[in-house]
Amino acid sequence: MTVFRSEAATFRAADDSPTVPRPEYPRPDRDRSDRWLNLNGRWDFRADGYEGPITVPFAWETPASGVHRTWLEEGVYRRAVIPPTAWTGARVVLCFGAVHHRAVVRIDGVVVGEHVGGYESFEFDVTDVVAPGETHDLEVAVMAPADKRAIAHGKQRSIPRDDYDGVAFTPTSGIWQTVWLEARGRTYSRSVALRGDSLTGIDVTAELAGDAPGNAPVTVTVLGSGETVHLTADEHGHVSGRIDLDQPVTWTPERPHLYEVAVRTGDGDGADRVVATTGLRRFETRGEQLYLNGKRCYLRGVLDQGYWPGTGLTAADAPTLFRDLALARELGYNLVRKHLKFEEPLWLHEADRTGMLVWAEPPNPSRFSAEAVHAFEAQLPGMVERDGNHPSIVIWGLYNEEWGLDWNIPGSAKCREAAVRAYDLLRELDGSRPIVENSGWSHVVTDLVDWHYYEPDVGEWKHALARMAAGEQETFPVRLGPDFTVDKSLYASSAVPRRGLPIINSEYGEGATSLERAWQLRWQTQELRRQDRFAGYVYTELADVEHEAAGLLDAERRPKDWGGCIPAFVNAETVLVLDIVPRVAGADIEPPTDTFQFDLHVSHHGRAPLSGVVHAAWVASGTPVDRVVDHPQASTAPVTAEPFLLSPAVTIAVPPPAGPARLLLWLTDTDGRVRARSFLDAAEVEQPNRAGARPGE
């Protein structure tokens, strides 16, 4: 690696902008914010063809960084650092949220550490090379190869272009998460793992570092309740114990109760204290069903890639970061699948705090090799250490669609072995969550059977889902290129049981326009809800990213034209399932000329049975779906829906409208409350104009 060294006698000592970007403490889940120094802001930066300022923590490809250069493969950051005088006597730790891809860190010309891996957090104890109150030269030399095929890079574009270029985006290179200094005790907890899956107490594990980690005393206290245990580390600085809670309160999406646990290491003025956060939460499989704290759970998820215009993989500020969780909730989702990215701990803490479930997964390489497999596996310990305390994370993903396995688990024993090895490694690191070893395709060892299926024909989608739920179909077509379609299977090993594991469709969605996508969302989701065997779904996707326009929201997180569809109704706890195969977006049915009759069902995922009546009324085309109609034109017989079981069919019959119209449908319970809504658009379908077409087309 070439290291650019500045010969200038001066360097940037501090950010001179009015505000420091991303000023918030980045680890509220592992809080040491009483003694920290944010190093975000303006740094000096030097790379091939560029020398000037850069704004940390934004990747050098982004406009927000001030550099806005793509395909720089090396760069050197430099600034002055002055640890506060008040930190005298403490240990000083330099922390990085994430740097892509290889970082060599120097202080006053002395290498203090090196890290490889573009998404994991890392830190270096720099106590021996800095003095509080004195100025030091901090330098971070970064190598970010354009050829990313053998490194974990997720959705970043590569040169040479890899197989995923069509769904890849502008790379993220250099420092792209917060950089900061912390003061810690002379002996301190380098890591703290908390697990609350017992639902009655918190299991605590810590690894100590610093002056004398061996046999150090550790006191663990639950803040608020005061429950405390006193522990002693072993000779290697490892400590573990358990706090049983007198009145345990579980964490759920409806009541996301969090416990703050203070871990104090050592005694006296040099003692260390960190406050870690977790919840009492057990997420498990029981046969083909999912359970949260012993209660049945159905996942209504959305894919989120975590990209923002102008700032790339880094949110511009904390409200922008948090807003995506609020938007997902407003759209009716109870789970976010954070795709091929370690999202910031700040975001995960907000998911914990607000009760959003999370499917977390690491970035993948894109070509199979021993080097790529090693790089993929190397990030898993850091993923679990950093994020394992979060009760919101209920599923760990690993490989996605055989990325980094050459799309060839079925045909390669080595690729299958890599997937199994990754599963076993993650299971050893954390056995408290279900693991998916190869999301979407060809499972060899997994706790969930999930599949990714994109099908534009709603009728074929309906029938394929019915066949898959019945166990009659195990394969599905996957279009990998304009002239390249393969039949992928749910299974690549006879060791994966065909019955007895939860089944989740973890990617779906179709349509070339926002109107078509919203229409497909309505009808494809209802067919997923029709099949009681399925344990959940994940829609693709929350927001557009660069050229990829599959989002319910655009890249700026603005709602698109959904053609009357309200996603929150589609993804509700209770929905209507219509026995209709619709025709096209905007014209579900032809305007009927006689009494219009069809069957429908109720899918209800509440805790208790739901009884009610479905009503219908014709309104003008385009009338808002949530319009209140005082006098329905038709109603069904009473219907009762048991939790997680599709109700028996009930029939509704309405008189014909005068012409094109919208049929509003709504379910009221025995108290008269509206519990579910749907609609049908009745309109003429104009035949496409094919004038001038070539013969035979």
**693 — pLDDT class (breaks 50, 70, 90):** confident
| Domain-located, residue 689 | no
Q: Which of 261, 280, 299 is the last residue of a domain?
A: 280
Q: Which residue has the tokens 């219908």?
A: 616
Q: Which residues contact 51 (CB under 8 A, 6 or more apart)?
A: 45
As a whole number, mean pLDDT of residues 59-63 equals: 98
The pLDDT score that the predictor gives to residue 250 is 98
DSSP H helices in 509-580? 514-530, 567-570
Q: What is the CATH number of the domain that holds 417?
A: 3.20.20.80
The pLDDT score that the predictor gives to residue 455 is 96
The pLDDT score that the predictor gives to residue 396 is 98
| Domain-located, residue 88 | yes
Residue 468 CA to residue 537 CA, distance in Å, equals 14
φ, ψ at 12 (rounded to 5°)? -65, 125
How many other CB atoms are there within 10 angstroms of residue 48's CB atom?
13
Q: What is the CATH number of the domain that holds 588?
A: 2.60.40.10
| Least confident piece of the model among 40-44, 56-60, 379-383, 493-497 | 493-497
| Domain-located, residue 23 | no
The answer to whether residues 360 and 396 touch, using CB atoms and an 8 Å cutoff, is: yes
Question: Is a pLDDT exceeding 80 seen at residue 5?
Answer: no
The answer to whether residues 79 and 43 touch, using CB atoms and an 8 Å cutoff, is: yes
Q: Which residue has the tokens 């970007």?
A: 21
Residue 336 CA to residue 111 CA, distance in Å, equals 39
**9 — pLDDT class (breaks 50, 70, 90):** very low
| Cis preceding-peptide flag for 53 (omega within 30 of 0) | no
The pLDDT score that the predictor gives to residue 10 is 35
φ, ψ at 131 (rounded to 5°)? -130, 125
As a whole number, mean pLDDT of residues 354-368 equals: 98
The answer to whether residues 172 and 100 touch, using CB atoms and an 8 Å cutoff, is: yes
Which tens digits make up the pLDDT trace of 432-479?
Answer: 999 999 999 999 999 999 999 999 999 999 999 999 999 999 999 998
Q: Which residues pair with 92 in a beta bridge?
A: 183
Q: Are residues 78 and 127 in the same domain?
A: yes
Q: Which residue has the higher pLDDT, 690 or 543?
A: 543
Q: Which residues contact 178 (CB under 8 A, 6 or more apart)?
A: 22, 26, 38, 39, 40, 57, 97
Q: Are residues 552 and 582 in the same domain?
A: no
Q: Are residues 395 and 486 in the same domain?
A: yes
Q: Are residues 171 and 216 in the same domain?
A: no
As a whole number, mean pLDDT of residues 625-633 equals: 94
Q: Are residues 259 and 398 in the same domain?
A: no
As a whole number, mean pLDDT of residues 299-305 equals: 98
Q: Give the whole-number percent of the chain exceeding pLDDT 70.
A: 97
DSSP codes joined into one string, 200-267: SEEEEEEEEEES--TT-EEEEEETTT--EEEEE--TTSEEEEEEE-SS--BB-SSSB--EEEEEEESS
Cα of 149 vs its chain's centroid, Å: 23
| Inter-CA distances, 388 with 29, 276, 398, 683, Å | 11, 11, 15, 52
Residue 675 CA to residue 666 CA, distance in Å, equals 7
As a whole number, mean pLDDT of residues 614-635 equals: 96
Q: Are residues 405 and 388 in the same domain?
A: yes
Q: Which of 544, 571, 598 is the last residue of a domain?
A: 571
The pLDDT score that the predictor gives to residue 686 is 87
Q: Which of 249, 264, 280 is the last residue of a domain?
A: 280
| Domain-located, residue 138 | yes
Residue 217 CA to residue 206 CA, distance in Å, equals 12
Question: Is a pLDDT exceeding 60 seen at residue 632?
Answer: yes
* pLDDT mean across residues, the chain: 95
The pLDDT score that the predictor gives to residue 1 is 40
| Domain-located, residue 19 | no
User: What is residue 165's DSSP assignment?
Assistant: G
Question: Is a pLDDT exceeding 80 seen at residue 419?
Answer: yes
Which tens digits make up the pLDDT trace of 557-566?
Answer: 999 999 999 9
The pLDDT score that the predictor gives to residue 15 is 45
Question: Is a pLDDT exceeding 70 seen at residue 308?
Answer: yes
Total of domains in the chain: 4
Q: Which residues pair with 654 in a beta bridge?
A: 596
Question: Is a pLDDT exceeding 50 seen at residue 638?
Answer: yes
Secondary structure, 3-state, 642-655: CCCCCCCCEEEEEC
Q: Which among 239, 241, 202, 198 has a CA at the least distance from the CA of 224?
A: 202
Residue 636 CA to residue 653 CA, distance in Å, equals 8
Q: Are residues 154 and 204 in the same domain?
A: no
As a whole number, mean pLDDT of residues 583-595 equals: 96
Which tens digits make up the pLDDT trace of 65-76?
Answer: 999 999 999 999
Q: Are residues 119 and 236 in the same domain?
A: no
The answer to whether residues 607 and 643 touch, using CB atoms and an 8 Å cutoff, is: yes
Secondary structure, 3-state, 584-649: ECCECECCCCCCEEEEEEEEECCCCCEEEEEEEEEECCCCCCCCCCCCCCEECCCEEECCCCCCCC
Q: Are residues 258 and 292 in the same domain?
A: no
Residue-number span of the structural domain to which 128 is assigned:
30-184
The pLDDT score that the predictor gives to residue 18 is 57
The pLDDT score that the predictor gives to residue 267 is 87
Question: Is a pLDDT exceeding 80 seen at residue 181?
Answer: yes
Q: Are residues 421 and 468 in the same domain?
A: yes
Q: Are residues 559 and 585 in the same domain?
A: no
User: What is residue 72's DSSP assignment?
Assistant: -
The pLDDT score that the predictor gives to residue 75 is 98
Tokens coding 369: 């090799």
Beta strand pairing call for 661-669 and 650-654: unpaired
| Domain-located, residue 15 | no
| Least confident piece of the model among 108-122, 373-387, 676-690 | 676-690
| Domain-located, residue 600 | yes
| Domain-located, residue 382 | yes
The pLDDT score that the predictor gives to residue 12 is 39
The pLDDT score that the predictor gives to residue 46 is 98
Q: Are residues 559 and 597 in the same domain?
A: no
**14 — pLDDT class (breaks 50, 70, 90):** very low
Q: What is the CATH number of the domain that holds 99?
A: 2.60.120.260
Residue 45 CA to residue 685 CA, distance in Å, equals 59
| Cis preceding-peptide flag for 238 (omega within 30 of 0) | no
User: What number of helices (H) and strands (E) belong to the chain?
Assistant: 8, 41
